[in-house]
Structure 1
Amino acid sequence: MSDLPDTDFTQRFIFDDRDVRGEMVGLERSYAEVLAKHPYPQPVAQLLGELMAAAALLVGTLKFDGLLILQARSEGPVPLLMIECSSEHEIRGLARYEAGQIADDATLADLMPEGVLALTVDPVNGQRYQGMVDLHGQDLSECFTNYFVMSQQINTCISLTADGTRARGLLVQQLPADRQKDSEDREESWNHVTALANTVKAEELLGLDNETVLHRLYHEDAVRLFDIQPLKFRCSCSRERSGNALVSLGQADAQQLVIEHGGQIEVDCQFCNQRYLFDATDVTQLFAGGGTDAASETRH
């Protein structure tokens, strides 16, 4: 067993003598919760874990209250990957895939050829923002690194790995000039940090605690590691949200659905498999403004 400080966390660090910050993430329980909802093939499970780690890392860089949504789409065997991570560090995710078309050694290019990744920030207060990047990198680590450099003009280096049991991530990012004012010094410093970051191995990220990983990479640098911030799986679905979805259809269409489905509509959450049931009485109550409090029971 590894000596991780907790199974699900993010942890920030900073270089005392350089204009560089970093963050590490580990996912185990929340990763297992996501994988338990669907029978994912191993390459899909790994890709999903890497995207979960990326979402958890990025939430820490954005500094906002709200929801971060990562959505990767393609015309390949994996048409959709989707992760949602809140500023409260609550995470959920899912993948859609074509059964029988996933080779054991499938790469990102095999699974999601010509794929596109959308990064959406949905703040509680303020304007919704979306950025896009093509999935043209060798792996998700390279794709996200390219996204920050090309779309955000922020020097960033990201390493992501997952093995179906644990998902881990490492991010280093250049800060505005403060400790290092000279541009050549800044460039040399950044090259030093990223050259070492790129030497980290998947087995090190998956099997060692953060302090050990950072010591192996930067034992000659002054690096401060902050307290861990816990993460957890949580699905934001609810009976109320499902009822609102029915209301958005309009009363006539909702009532027709009840008839077509033998007297009961099933609304399933794709993230957690929770099933919400609505009969004719429930639908009448919804449109009368009575809400969902006295409605039918839910079941898995």
Structure 2
Amino acid sequence: MTHFDQLHRFLINKANVRGEIARLDDSLQHIVHSYEYPVQVQKLLGEMAAATCLLTAILKFKGEIGLQIQGQGAVKYAVVNATHDYTLRGVARWDEEAASLPERFEDLMEKGVLVITITPQDGERYQGVVALDKPTLAECIENYFAQSEQLATQVRLYTDLSDPERVKAAGMLLQVMPTQAENTNVSQDTEFEHLSKLAETLRAEEIFGLPVEDILYRLYHEEEVELFDPHTVSFACTCSRSRSAEALRNVEKAELLQVIEEEGAVKMNCQYCHTEYRFDTIDIEAIHAGHFEKAPDNQQ
């Protein structure tokens, strides 16, 4: 049986290489269907969601990791965030006036950059940036690790758009363990190169259709592979009424009161989940006096 919305981690022990396989279904639907995205943007968001899920392994603490791309092409901006407990959310902005969008990733993201942001709950935020100068998102992420982490890394990303109502995405990552950081050049690490070549033979129908155990046996039956219990992946938004109130604290009170006079309330709409939070005059006075009582996160 094929299980989706799970992240599977494994070790190829003798090679000192770690790996992950992520497959997304339900957790992806709210992301790709939150707006009327063209199919090219859905494919991009699917790949980004699978990649961000794989990158949660970077998090060694409670916090969030974000994969963001910015460019001057048909897609101006796209971001997917994942938390340490494997929840995803994402959004994209594209040229809605274009009659059609390019099919190739490199044409969608002209003069673009890839930004990977790690935000711990406690501590300073870290951000790494590389140019989107490779033909695929997977290759751009590999380039990020080569430049910033100096770790030999392979990323494979897949999307299944056969059912427009049930877009699926998947990904596989292989990476030399940090203790072997001296073997940063893939061409010099013949063992990692061999494992990567085997991973390149994995077809989309296999990663979407086979149990993870069968995938790993098919690829690495001659290796000593240790597969760990999977983590459940889900969609969840981190927006809240209290976070919206904190944002309003940075806006002039007079400006906010003017909005209430004209529109009846200050409305804050989450771009990820479309939840709307409303604030009246009493709320605004309390926010700027520092006495705003935090309501439950689901209270609007």
Tell me if TM exceeds 0.5: yes
Which string of whole-angstrom CA distances, capped at 9 and with x for unpartnered residues, describes residues 171-197 of structure 1? 00112557xx9x99x822111111111
Matched with 2:89 is 92
| From 228, 243, 266, the counterpart of 1:241 | 243
Pair 1:204–1:150, CA change in 2 (3 A):
same
Could you say what the CA RMSD is over the residues aligned between the two structures, in angstroms?
Answer: 2.4
Pair 1:293–1:152, CA change in 2 (3 A):
closer
Matched with 1:70 is 67
Unaligned runs of 5+ in 1: none
Matched with 1:24 is 21
* TM-score of the superposed pair, with normalisation by structure 2: 0.89
Distance between the aligned counterparts of 1:71 and 1:31, measured in 2?
17
Pair 1:16–1:86, CA change in 2 (3 A):
same
* TM-score of the superposed pair, with normalisation by structure 1: 0.89
Residue 237 of structure 1 deviates from its aligned partner by 0.6
Residue 287 of structure 1 deviates from its aligned partner by 2.7
Matched with 1:144 is 141
Distance between the aligned counterparts of 1:200 and 1:149, measured in 2?
23
Distance between the aligned counterparts of 1:290 and 1:19, measured in 2?
52
**Retained in 1: the 8 A contact 2:74–2:101?**
no
- Partner secondary structure for residue 271 of structure 2: coil
Residue 268 of structure 1 deviates from its aligned partner by 0.6
Pair 1:17–1:278, CA change in 2 (3 A):
same
Matched, 1:10 2:34: no
Pair 1:193–1:72, CA change in 2 (3 A):
same
Pair 1:102–1:74, CA change in 2 (3 A):
farther
Residue 206 of structure 1 deviates from its aligned partner by 2.2
Residue 220 of structure 1 deviates from its aligned partner by 1.8
Distance between the aligned counterparts of 2:59 and 2:282, measured in 1?
44
Q: How many residues align structurally?
A: 290
Which amino acid in 2 is paired with 1:132?
A: V
**Retained in 2: the 8 A contact 1:286–1:292?**
no
**Retained in 1: the 8 A contact 2:27–2:234?**
yes
Pair 1:18–1:293, CA change in 2 (3 A):
closer
- Partner secondary structure for residue 26 of structure 1: strand
Unaligned runs of 5+ in 2: 162-166
Matched, 1:133 2:134: no
Distance between the aligned counterparts of 1:168 and 1:57, measured in 2?
9
Pair 1:103–1:220, CA change in 2 (3 A):
farther
Overall identity of the aligned pairs, in %: 36
Q: What are the within-5 Å matches in structure 2 for residues 1-300 of structure 1?
A: 3-5=1-3, 7-101=4-98, 103=100, 106-164=103-161, 165-176=167-178, 187-259=189-261, 261-288=262-289, 289-291=291-293, 293=295, 298=300
